[in-house]
């Protein structure tokens, strides 16, 4: 019988290093026996409800279980956070359905998430690479044309973008602040790829300050969303885990966007 620990060992064997401090079992036990695994981006209430109602043993997610903390990593500055309604709702579902939750975050970014996003965008091989700071050379085109290509490749009906020089600005050197690296709290990533001469960024999630950071030096940024930039890689990982551990039923749960456009 396969355990949660066996599944996490498969991940560490692929990466060649232990899990990061914010990864591993966050609810339940590593010794839990597993027959059915649900891979997801975030352990939202709908994801946990689905897992419980459909008989899964393990939810293997990319993002943290509770907000604003991972209690195994961070100190508490809001001592009442376990009682916050979203946290309590997630905990109640895990307990009611006997689910285990394990997080694999940066290790999956390293193994599959980043590269599948670049693959989805058709960017080819990086022309510069240092860790996650990768830069891609594309044939020159207007940022408006690139924006339409990003929409087509991701299947998004709409994207947000900062266009400091307008949609006709020519671009050819792409940086990828995937996931949450387009957010202002992570602008050091933008700075690292800007230093390598990028003239356009295709991001996961950004915010007002994040957009303004690169726009102030004339670099446009196209925002796809956190889930759009990471979901394809997580789905690929579910396929890989299913192939490597055929005794398991492994499925991918699609976390719907948390908003609608009106």
pLDDT the model gives residue 261? 83
pLDDT the model gives residue 79? 86
Provide the 3-class DSSP secondary structure of residue 221: strand
pLDDT the model gives residue 71? 83
Query: Domains (ranges, CATH) in the chain?
Result: 2-104 (3.40.1390.30), 111-228 (3.40.1390.30)
The DSSP symbol for 20 reads: P
pLDDT the model gives residue 76? 73
pLDDT the model gives residue 72? 84
**Is residue 114 a contact partner of residue 134, using CB atoms and an 8 Å limit?**
yes
207: Cβ contacts below 8 Å, ≥ 6 apart:
182, 183, 184
* Helix, strand, coil share of the chain (percent; to 5): 40, 20, 40
pLDDT the model gives residue 69? 85
| Strand ranges (E), 52-199 | 58-61, 100-103, 128-130, 133-142, 160-162, 170-175
pLDDT in tens, the chain (262 residues): 999 999 999 999 999 999 999 999 999 999 999 999 999 999 999 999 999 999 999 999 999 999 998 888 887 788 899 999 999 999 999 999 999 999 999 999 999 999 999 999 999 999 999 999 999 999 999 999 999 999 999 999 999 999 999 999 999 999 999 999 999 999 999 999 999 999 999 999 999 999 999 999 999 999 999 999 999 999 999 999 999 999 999 999 999 999 888 8
Identify the sign of the CA torsion 41, 43, 45, 48: positive
Query: Distance (Å, rounded) from C-alpha 160 to C-alpha 26?
Result: 34
- Both tokens of residue 150? 């990003």
């Amino acid at each position: 019988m396969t355990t949660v620990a066996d599944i996490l060992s498969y991940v560490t064997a692929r990466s060649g290093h232990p899990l990061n401090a914010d990864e591993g079992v966050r609810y339940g036990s590593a010794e839990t026996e597993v027959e059915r695994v649900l891979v997801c981006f975030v352990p939202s209430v709908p994801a946990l409800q689905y897992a419980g109602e459909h008989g899964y043993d393990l939810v293997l997610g990319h993002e943290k279980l509770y907000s604003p903390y991972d209690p195994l990593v961070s100190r508490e500055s809001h001592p009442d956070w376990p009682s916050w309604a979203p946290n309590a709702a997630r905990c109640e579902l895990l307990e009611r359905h006997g689910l285990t939750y394990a997080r694999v975050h940066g290790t999956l970014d390293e193994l599959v998430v980043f590269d599948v996003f670049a693959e989805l965008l058709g960017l080819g091989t990086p022309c510069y690479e240092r860790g996650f700071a990768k830069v891609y050379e594309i044939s020159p085109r207007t940022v408006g044309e690139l924006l339409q290509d990003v929409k087509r490749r991701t299947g998004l009906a709409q994207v947000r973008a900062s266009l400091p020089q307008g949609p006709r600005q020519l671009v050819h050197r792409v940086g990828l602040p995937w996931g949450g690296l387009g957010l202002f709290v992570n602008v050091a990533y933008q700075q690292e790829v800007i230093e390598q001469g990028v003239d356009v960024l295709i991001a996961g999630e950004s915010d007002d300050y994040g957009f303004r950071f690169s726009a102030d030096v004339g670099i446009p940024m196209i925002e796809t969303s956190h889930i759009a930039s990471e979901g394809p890689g997580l789905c690929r990982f579910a396929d890989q885990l299913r192939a490597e551990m055929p005794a398991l039923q492994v499925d991918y749960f699609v976390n719907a966007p948390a908003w609608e456009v009106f």
